[in-house]
Structure 1
Amino acid sequence: MSHDPVLDCPVGEEPEPEALIEAAMRWHFSPRTGSPFWLRRAETLGFDPVREIRTHEDLSRFPNVVHELRDAPARDLIPRGYGPDPDVVGVYESGGTTGSPKRVVLLGDWAERSVHQSLRAMTERGHPEGVDWLSMAPTGPHLFGEIIARQARARGGLLFTIDMDPRWVKGSIAEGRREEADRYSRHLLSQAEHVLSTQNIGVLVTTPPMLERIARDERLTALVNDKVRLIRWSGARMDPDVHHLLTTEVFPEVAFSGGYGSTMILGGVDERPEPGPDGTSVFDPYSPYCSFSVVEPGGGRPVEYGERGQVVMHHVSKSALLVNNLERDTAVRVRAGEGRVGDSVADVRPLETFEGRTAIEGVY
């Protein structure tokens, strides 16, 4: 495997943003180290990434290519620089909210780096160690499950899982089969009750829609309050009023930690410990590898700080280059912390329609 001191800096350290971007352009667009996908795509860009892309702002010159990941051969996404036997953790897919799913390849070095930054945040916030976890979240083709499994092991916990198929629920809702979606949710809750009633679960990982359903069930609510010390939520929007209700009245003694991310940045980030405007959750990017921009709807110029716009995501690392991706979310633009590139985001909400389709969240 080829080595680059910037792209291969020690886990837990972050390079200078411009040094990372310049090194990534050399890596991904060299015939020796780049992926077949990007080497082919380079011929259509109309600019030389190695000479012309040097800053975070320059990333906006790239076309949004993530829609091409619906059909691209997964092997073509692996950079040649990893050699004939790359450490592939798995091939993962987006939720398929607005059509057929997009695919990415998770490589071992990025999985280690991404999980390390989340573990560091948990330690800084005093999250429990040595307790068992229950994850009621997508597994299978979804990156969420892989990341949660690694986090639980690293924190010294056994992981109990309840598989969730968000596509079935979304399909049921889209076709007007709401009762089928509700029945599926009840199926998930019955499994959660069995695990919570028989095991000492200290960390519960799930989505806001499922938390709201748990809160409507007296026995499940009692089990969570009796055993769980931390609820980690992500995968769908958490309404600020619902967040306040859950944290102050339904689960008042349980710590909460939200997450925001995307398969298209190969991971996610935890919310800030302190709330943002109007009690909303604020998310800082894992800079400089992953970054956010908040722009006018449809991909225009950046909105003003404190204003709502559409989220654009970028991922720049040795393992992947996924930039200028216009997401299906809107958010309030917040100044990123010192030394971070791009924006932080608050009060993330899904668009009602995206790419000409109705966006359905369901349980995830």
Structure 2
Amino acid sequence: MWDNDDLPGAELSGAELSGADADGYIRAAMRWHFDPETGSPFWLAQAASLGFDPREAVRSVEDLRLFPTVVDQLRNVRPEHLIPRGYGDAADIVGVYDSGGTTGAPKRVVFLDDWLQRMITHMLEPLDRLGIPLGLNWLGILPTGPHAVGHFIGLAARARRGLMYTVDMDPRWVRKLIASGQTAQADAYVEHLVEQSSHILLSQEIGVLMTTPPMLERLARRDDLLAAITRNVRLIMWGGAHMDADTHDLFRNEVFPGIPLHGVYGSTMIMGGASQRLGDTEYPIFDGFGPHITFRVVDPVSLERVPYGTRGQVVTNHVSRSMLLPNNLDRDTAIRVPALPGQPGDSLGDLAPVQVFGSETVIEGVY
């Protein structure tokens, strides 16, 4: 059994892990995921076609690049086949969640509670450093089922001892409307989200607002909503659609001055999110949660790392007791930024989507 105490550095935060601890964690993960007694049916079936034994060949975070990208198979795989056998009957299943479907049919993963609790703890850690008090009420204008983010935010509000208000968002419908040229209908749907949000923002004391950059822009168009946010909100968390440096500065310094603006780069294929680096930076920078969530920024053709300060395509890795999703060439580009001390992999600056991924045009829409 893979107990936390058996993993070098497993109970440490990502910023505290040394490279040696992170690599030891990866070796333990390979033993877990590829032992017939503990691995998942999905990965044990993949093992025969890999051409190498991960328990011998994968010795470090860098060696995760040896794996093929398998995430497209998650469009059709049965989620129960993703659960490692080592959990036995003790697998505490939180739920099955979809990717956004931006690049075709959605991919599907299963979340177990041990990973989810660790992810929530990591996601909330910056709030203490930002001085955000406990007991604030939260409003999430976000996708709920079948997407994981709505579930995450509800747990985050509960952990921070606040009430959770929600406005459900269907980003797939918005993308479909935009792709078919029905921009007026897409705009009407976004206005519908604004109207629902207004009933909460104008009648309740919301201390934490979590939504996307397009929704922040639409909320700020209304003077009454902007006044309510300025009066009550102590923290704006943003994610989903990307935010460029100019928009980030505009929101932070002119539209919502005095309210901390904190981003989360979330993805179903990393089973969680990467937090925005605190402090003044030239553009939003997102740091991994190593060794669980790590990034490489590469040339999309050669797949070799680009120099620091250069834009490339993002490769993501997720390695935990409950899931293995290595070497996924993502739909996003970023500027390669040195990681924080002790953190494996790269950090991501000024994230932006590619225009075409595979054969699909990438449309962010409202999320």
Q: State the TM-score bracket (shorter-chain normalisation).
A: over 0.9
Which shows bigger deviation, 240-249 or 343-352?
240-249
Which shows bigger deviation, 327-336 or 246-255?
246-255
Supply the AA of the counterpart residue of 1:304: P
Are the aligned partners of 2:265 and 2:273 in contact in 1 as well (CA < 8 Å)?
Answer: yes
Alignment of structure 1 residues 1-364 onto 2, 5 Å: 3=3, 5-7=5-7, 11-13=11-13, 16-276=21-281, 279-298=282-301, 300-364=303-367
Taking the aligned partners of 2:89 and 2:43, their CA distance within structure 1 comes to 18
Are the aligned partners of 1:11 and 1:116 in contact in 2 as well (CA < 8 Å)?
Answer: no
Taking the aligned partners of 1:250 and 1:5, their CA distance within structure 2 comes to 47
Residue deviations 1:260-303, cap 9 Å, x none?
12111110122111233xx3001110011110000002461000
Taking the aligned partners of 2:280 and 2:111, their CA distance within structure 1 comes to 31
CA separation of 1:2 and 1:243: change in aligned 2, threshold 3 A: closer
Give, in angstroms, the shift of residue 206 of structure 1.
0.2
Give, in angstroms, the shift of residue 10 of structure 1.
6.4
Are the aligned partners of 1:11 and 1:113 in contact in 2 as well (CA < 8 Å)?
Answer: no
TM-score by length of 2: 0.95
CA separation of 1:84 and 1:127: change in aligned 2, threshold 3 A: same
Residue deviations 1:47-95, cap 9 Å, x none?
0100110011111110000000000001000000010241001111100
Are the aligned partners of 2:8 and 2:24 in contact in 1 as well (CA < 8 Å)?
Answer: no
Give, in angstroms, the shift of residue 254 of structure 1.
1.6
Taking the aligned partners of 1:303 and 1:94, their CA distance within structure 2 comes to 27
Taking the aligned partners of 2:196 and 2:159, their CA distance within structure 1 comes to 25
Are the aligned partners of 1:311 and 1:326 in contact in 2 as well (CA < 8 Å)?
Answer: yes
Taking the aligned partners of 1:132 and 1:240, their CA distance within structure 2 comes to 28
CA separation of 1:132 and 1:6: change in aligned 2, threshold 3 A: same
Are the aligned partners of 1:275 and 1:282 in contact in 2 as well (CA < 8 Å)?
Answer: no
Taking the aligned partners of 1:298 and 1:361, their CA distance within structure 2 comes to 24
Are the aligned partners of 1:6 and 1:20 in contact in 2 as well (CA < 8 Å)?
Answer: no
State the superposition RMSD in angstroms: 1.5
Give, in angstroms, the shift of residue 12 of structure 1.
4.9
Are the aligned partners of 2:4 and 2:11 in contact in 1 as well (CA < 8 Å)?
Answer: no
Taking the aligned partners of 1:125 and 1:292, their CA distance within structure 2 comes to 25
Supply the AA of the counterpart residue of 2:199: H
Supply the AA of the counterpart residue of 2:162: G
Are the aligned partners of 1:7 and 1:318 in contact in 2 as well (CA < 8 Å)?
Answer: no
SS of equivalent residue, structure 1 residue 332: strand
Structure 1: runs of 5+ lacking an equivalent: none
SS of equivalent residue, structure 2 residue 6: coil
Structure 1 ranges of 4+ moved more than 4 A = 7-15
Paired residues, number: 362
Give, in angstroms, the shift of residue 225 of structure 1.
1.1
SS of equivalent residue, structure 2 residue 5: coil
Supply the AA of the counterpart residue of 1:98: T
Supply the AA of the counterpart residue of 2:300: P
Are the aligned partners of 1:299 and 1:326 in contact in 2 as well (CA < 8 Å)?
Answer: no
Taking the aligned partners of 2:288 and 2:33, their CA distance within structure 1 comes to 22
Residue deviations 1:282-333, cap 9 Å, x none?
1110011110000002461000000000000001111100000001000000
Give, in angstroms, the shift of residue 46 of structure 1.
0.3
Give, in angstroms, the shift of residue 220 of structure 1.
1.5
SS of equivalent residue, structure 1 residue 83: helix
Are the aligned partners of 1:2 and 1:82 in contact in 2 as well (CA < 8 Å)?
Answer: no
Structure 2: runs of 5+ lacking an equivalent: none
Are the aligned partners of 2:138 and 2:210 in contact in 1 as well (CA < 8 Å)?
Answer: yes
TM-score by length of 1: 0.96
Give, in angstroms, the shift of residue 11 of structure 1.
4.6
Taking the aligned partners of 1:316 and 1:29, their CA distance within structure 2 comes to 13
SS of equivalent residue, structure 2 residue 74: helix
CA separation of 1:319 and 1:91: change in aligned 2, threshold 3 A: same
Are the aligned partners of 2:96 and 2:146 in contact in 1 as well (CA < 8 Å)?
Answer: yes
